[in-house]
Amino acid sequence: MVSLSKQSMMAQLLNSSFTPTTRGLRRQSIPSITQTTSRKSQIQAKIREIFMPALSSTMTEGKIVSWVKSEGDKLAKGESVVVVESDKADMDVETFYDGYLAAIMVEEGGVAAVGSAIALLAETEDEIAQALSKAKEQSSSSSSPAPPPPPPAETTIPDPVPVATVVKAAPVTVVASTHPASDGGKRIVASPYAKKLAKELNVDLSGVVGTGPMGRIVAKDVEAAAVSSVAAAAESAKPISAAPGVELGSVVPFTTMQGAVSRNMVESLGVPTFRVGYTITTDALDALYKKIKPKGVTMTALLAKATALALAKHPVVNSSCRDGKSFTYNSSINIAVAVAIDGGLITPVLQNADKVDIYSLSRNWKELVEKARAKQLQPQEYSTGTFTLSNLGMFGVDRFDAILPPGTGAIMAVGASQPTVVATKDGRIGMKSQMQVNVTADHRVIYGADLAQFLQTLAKIIEDPKDLTF
C-alpha cells in the first residue's frame, strides 16, 4: 500500500481531478487541479480531462478495470467514477468536480499511462456533445478504447491483379441467423461467449450465420465472421451480386481512385527496383497471436510492429529517393498497409509503428480501416507511409511480389504461413509453419545487402517475437 500523503501528492502533481479512494482517503480534502482543456482546440467551456491517477509511487500505467459510471451520467463531487488497477491494487477513483461524464476515452480493460486522459468531464449537459467530438479528435492519437477486429482479409497490394478479382475471392457472408427462434432474423440467438466475442471483435451479430445447436451463433461463428468481417462488411451494404457484377463485354472507365492507382503504377516504372525474398518460421508468432488475440491484437498490427522494429535497426530501408540525387532518411517509421476497398486500393498508415505499443497499434488499425471503409481517411492517414506492407496470405497466396509505390523506398509482400516439412541441421525432419516474404526496393538508395540484413533482423524478430509486446 502506498502512503496516503504520497498518493495525494502524486495526484496533485499530475493535475488529476481524480484521486484514488482507499481507506480513509475519502476524508482527505485534496484541492484537485483539473486541467481545463485548451490545447489546440480552443474549447472555452468547462470540459475537464480525467487523468489516469498515480495510485502508487511505482505506477507508470493503470488498467481501467471498470467504469462505475457510464457516458452521460451525472457525477457528484466525491462519487466513484472508475475502478483502476495499479501494480498494487484495484482502487475506486472519485471525481472532485460535479458534472457529467461526457466521454470515456479508455474503455474497460484498456491501459493508459499515468497522467494521460481517460475520460472527459463536462460541466453541463449541453457540453457533452462538444466533449464527445473532442474525444473523437483525440482518440486517434491517444491510446484509445475498444479492441479492434482482426481485419487481415481486406489487405491487398498494388500489383497487376485486378482488384475486382480480389474482392470476389473474399468470403461474402451476409445471411441472417438461421436460428428457428430468430423470428425470421428479427431476433439473434447467440451464446454468451459469442456475444462477448462479438463485442470484443466488433462483429455485428445480425450478419453472422449460426452453426451451433438449433442454428444459434456460437463463438467459432463470430471468430469466422471476424476474419472475413472487413471484406464482408464492405460488401454487405450493397446487393451481393454487385461485387462480381461485371458486365462482360463492356468498357468501364476508372473511378478517381482507380485512376490514381493507374498513374502511380505507371510512374513506378521509372524506379529501378529489385526484389529479395526470405522464408520465415512463424510458429512463435502464431502462438503469440493466439495468446493476445483476445486482447484485440490483429495479425496486421503484429506484422507492422515487427517490420517497424526491424526498420528501426536498418534506417536505410526506411529511406527513399525523392530527387534521384539523395537519400531521404525518414524521421519516423510509418507503416502503410495496403487495403482493398470498394473496387480500389488504399494504404492506411500506422504512424510510429516502432514506438506505439501493439495494443494501441491494433486499435489504431481498427479505426483506420473503419475510416477507410467510410472513405473518411484524411490525407495524412494514407499518404505518409515510409514503408508498405502487402499481405495476401489470407487468400492462400504463398508468394508474390509487389510494385513499389512511388515516393517510398521499399514494400514487402507477405505470403501465407503454411505448415512445412523442414529438415533441421541435426538431420531431423520436422513440421514448422513458414511464410515467405518478398521485398521490392528502390536500388538507388537500398542495396541488396541492406535488404538482406533487414530481412535477417525481421526473421529474428518474428521467430522470437517477445519484443513485439514489450
Q: Can you say how many angstroms the Cα of residue 60 is from the centroid of all Cα atoms in its chain?
A: 23
Judged by CB under 8 A, the stretch of 71-79, 213-221, 384-392, 407-415 that binds another protein is: 213-221
Q: Maximum CA pair distance of the chain?
A: 80
Q: Does 432 bind another protein (CB under 8 A)?
A: no
Q: Nearer to another protein by C-beta: 1 or 13?
A: 1
Query: Please, which contacts does 248-255 make with residues 24 or more away whose CB atoms are closer than 8 Å?
Result: 255/343, 255/344
The dihedral built from the CA positions of residue 307, 312, 314 and 319, taken in this order, carries a sign that is positive
Coil/strand/helix, residue 52: coil
Judged by CB under 8 A, the stretch of 3-11, 207-215, 307-315, 431-439 that binds another protein is: 207-215
Give the integer Cα–Cα distance in Å for 202 and 222.
Answer: 10
Has 179 been annotated as catalytic? no
Give the integer Cα–Cα distance in Å for 321 and 311.
Answer: 16
In the complex, least distance from residue 58 CB atom to another protein, rounded to whole angstroms = 13
Give the integer Cα–Cα distance in Å for 452 and 439.
Answer: 10
Q: Does 447 bind another protein (CB under 8 A)?
A: no
Judged by CB under 8 A, the stretch of 43-51, 192-200, 241-249, 339-347 that binds another protein is: 192-200
Judged by CB under 8 A, the residue of 136, 291, 322, 355 near another protein is: 291
Q: Does 88 bind another protein (CB under 8 A)?
A: yes
In the complex, least distance from residue 196 CB atom to another protein, rounded to whole angstroms = 7
The dihedral built from the CA positions of residue 299, 114, 332 and 262, taken in this order, carries a sign that is positive
Judged by CB under 8 A, the stretch of 132-140, 157-165, 184-192, 348-356 that binds another protein is: 184-192
Catalytic residue from among 275, 443, 444, 460? 443
In the complex, least distance from residue 430 CB atom to another protein, rounded to whole angstroms = 18
Q: Nearer to another protein by C-beta: 291 or 322?
A: 291
Judged by CB under 8 A, the residue of 48, 134, 216, 366 near another protein is: 216
Judged by CB under 8 A, the residue of 106, 167, 189, 345 near another protein is: 189
Cell digits of residue 213: 445447436
Q: Can you say how many angstroms the Cα of residue 300 is from the centroid of all Cα atoms in its chain?
A: 8
Judged by CB under 8 A, the stretch of 32-40, 87-95, 163-171, 302-310 that binds another protein is: 87-95
Q: Does 1 bind another protein (CB under 8 A)?
A: yes
| Contact (CB, 8 A) for 231 and 177 | no
Q: Does 329 bind another protein (CB under 8 A)?
A: no
| Contact (CB, 8 A) for 205 and 233 | no
Give the integer Cα–Cα distance in Å for 459 and 431.
Answer: 18
Count CB-CB contacts under 10 A for residue 165.
12
| Contact (CB, 8 A) for 114 and 14 | yes
In the complex, least distance from residue 151 CB atom to another protein, rounded to whole angstroms = 24
Contacts of another protein in 7-26 (CB under 8 A): 22-24
Residues of this chain that interact with another protein (CB under 8 A) are 1, 22-24, 65-66, 83, 88-90, 179, 181, 189, 191-193, 195-196, 212-214, 216, 218-219, 291
Catalytic residues: 443
